[in-house]
Amino acid sequence: MPKKYHIKPTPAAPRFIPVGRSGIIDWEEDCLKCTTCVKKRCLYDVYKNRAYDARTLVDSIDYQCKNCFSCIQNCPRGVLSKTINPEFLRMGDAYWKPDIIHNTWFQAETGRIPVSGAGYRGPFSGPGFDAMWTDMSEIVRPTRDGIHGREYISTAIDIGRKQHHIEFDASGAARIEMPPLVEIPLPVIFNPLPFGNIGISVTLSMAAAARQIGGLMYVTPETYAPFLKPFMSQLVPLIPADMDVNAPMLQGVRMVELHYAPDILAQVQRLKSHCSERVVSIRVPLNPDAKTITAALTRGGVEVVHLFADYRGNEFVDGDSPRFVKDALRDVHTHLVNECIRDEVTLIVSGGIALAEHLPKAIICGADGAAIDLPLLIALECRVCKRCVTGKSCPVELQNLDPAYGAQRIVNLMCSWWSQLIELMGAMGIRDVRRVRGEAGRAMFFEDLERDTFGAIFGGQSK
């Protein structure tokens, strides 16, 4: 039996005190100095370990507090009260919400699955991926001894073209040449960062992490430098279609990706004729035309299509109501299924993949794997303040990051995502992530439920 894939996390404490959710307000002047001080009885020792960073103006108590409210309720004089830290609420933007950033920091620090079960956490549905629920149908096929037991749950995917059929000659030998495949043990590829790639340390951290987890990482001609040479088997150059095939960044790589252009099939042929062992992928913007383009590329023999949305997960379209990546992706996947060509091509999707749960949800919507960008940056303590976009200094000094430390933070994040992926697959009764692809029957979509339930009552008013 092959060795089980496993990612080993190692705790990597943050370099800077992270911005925390809670805001404890202390009327310390009223303290009775009693013998039952709640600060000394804190289960998590947050008062004992309290530190204030005067450079970044952040208090450690806000991040360390687990919101158990024990101190607030039990102080005899009631000197403590609690609210939400406004700096926390200001982090990120409308899509990359503070909770997502906070959650990612925790996973990058510990490598553990974040647990949030205290109290009512808000509505059970929302926009984007929150309008989708996976069906935990473990009753179909329960695990014999847990997800980490004897049964192997595979998270590996094959990137490349799959043959529709195999022909044999009279002697029984296969008549076709099998196209190259790149197998990665986790359906995640590291995408170029939309911002924040300041200095070589961020790129090195990503490359080292990709090597540790056995994954791939896209690299653009702008970010490629000779220091990436030891990581060539992990790199996927993302290049313009007419790039010289002898360029140093193309030597020793297993896969390359080209930007979509109308004459792209000729360029693919040019690359394949130079090296047929290399998988060639095409990066296509996700928009209403993506399904016809993807179908045409698939019929033209393209091995991989990478559909990319913007970093908030919206498709590229003029107008006020772009579709979210999950809906646009389902559209492409369904079109390929109807055309009976879905199995021949590998679909990678990127844009808006922010949390571990988004990965299986994207796969259920029809992707084979996903490319992620901002979660990697957030794992390196980024606060999504976007100061770097305007040329201002980074509050967490990403330019001074130690690549080994940065790689460990990313590995921890991937470990947590991997754990959550196999938890979900175990609960769904699926043993291979390749089988999760397009399993829309195992998921519920809020829009569908709403239409089915209320459509008959509200008629045309219901979406």
- Contact residues: another protein, CB under 8 A: 23-29, 52, 54-55, 57, 59, 81, 83-87, 90
CB-based burial label for 121 (10 Å; 0-12, 13-18, 19+): exposed
Q: Give the integer Cα–Cα distance in Å for 127 and 393.
A: 33
Alpha helices in 142-226, H assignment, sequence order: 200-213
- Beta carbon of residue 331, minimum distance to another protein (angstroms, whole number): 39
Of 23 and 180, which has the nearer Cβ to another protein? 23
Residue 262, amino acid: P
Give me 160's structure tokens: 């490349």
- Beta carbon of residue 17, minimum distance to another protein (angstroms, whole number): 12
- Beta carbon of residue 196, minimum distance to another protein (angstroms, whole number): 19
Of 19 and 271, which has the nearer Cβ to another protein? 19
- Beta carbon of residue 57, minimum distance to another protein (angstroms, whole number): 4
Closest C-alpha to 439, from 356, 336, 361, 354: 361
CA distances from 31 to 52, 72, 114, 132 (A): 21, 13, 35, 49
Of 29 and 244, which has the nearer Cβ to another protein? 29
- Beta carbon of residue 395, minimum distance to another protein (angstroms, whole number): 10
CB-based burial label for 143 (10 Å; 0-12, 13-18, 19+): middle
User: 307: which strand partners?
Assistant: 284, 349
Of 29 and 277, which has the nearer Cβ to another protein? 29
In this structure, the number of other CB atoms found within 10 A of the CB of residue 271 comes to 18
- Beta carbon of residue 83, minimum distance to another protein (angstroms, whole number): 4
Residue 20, amino acid: G
- Beta carbon of residue 159, minimum distance to another protein (angstroms, whole number): 44
Of 15 and 82, which has the nearer Cβ to another protein? 82
- Beta carbon of residue 269, minimum distance to another protein (angstroms, whole number): 52
- Beta carbon of residue 85, minimum distance to another protein (angstroms, whole number): 6
Of 370 and 396, which has the nearer Cβ to another protein? 396
Q: Contact, 201 vs 380, CB < 8 A?
A: no
Terminal C-alpha separation, the chain: 50
Give me 351's structure tokens: 């844009």
Q: Give the integer Cα–Cα distance in Å for 129 and 25.
A: 35
Of 9 and 98, which has the nearer Cβ to another protein? 98
Q: Contact, 91 vs 385, CB < 8 A?
A: yes
In sequence order, which residues have a C-beta less than 8 Å from that of residue 140 and are 6 or more positions away? Answer: 429
- Beta carbon of residue 32, minimum distance to another protein (angstroms, whole number): 17
Q: Contact, 214 vs 185, CB < 8 A?
A: yes
Q: Give the integer Cα–Cα distance in Å for 396 and 177.
A: 51
Of 83 and 321, which has the nearer Cβ to another protein? 83
- Beta carbon of residue 45, minimum distance to another protein (angstroms, whole number): 18
Give me 385's structure tokens: 């303040």
- Beta carbon of residue 390, minimum distance to another protein (angstroms, whole number): 10
Displacement of CA 83 from its chain's centroid (Å): 30
User: 168: which strand partners?
Assistant: 174
In sequence order, which residues have a C-beta less than 8 Å from that of residue 368 and are 6 or more positions away? Answer: 157, 159, 187, 346, 347, 348, 434, 437
Which bin fits 128, alpha (ψ -120 to 50), beta or left (φ > 0)? Answer: left
Of 56 and 462, which has the nearer Cβ to another protein? 56
Of 24 and 407, which has the nearer Cβ to another protein? 24
Give me 44's structure tokens: 């998590």
Closest C-alpha to 381, from 54, 193, 55, 104: 104
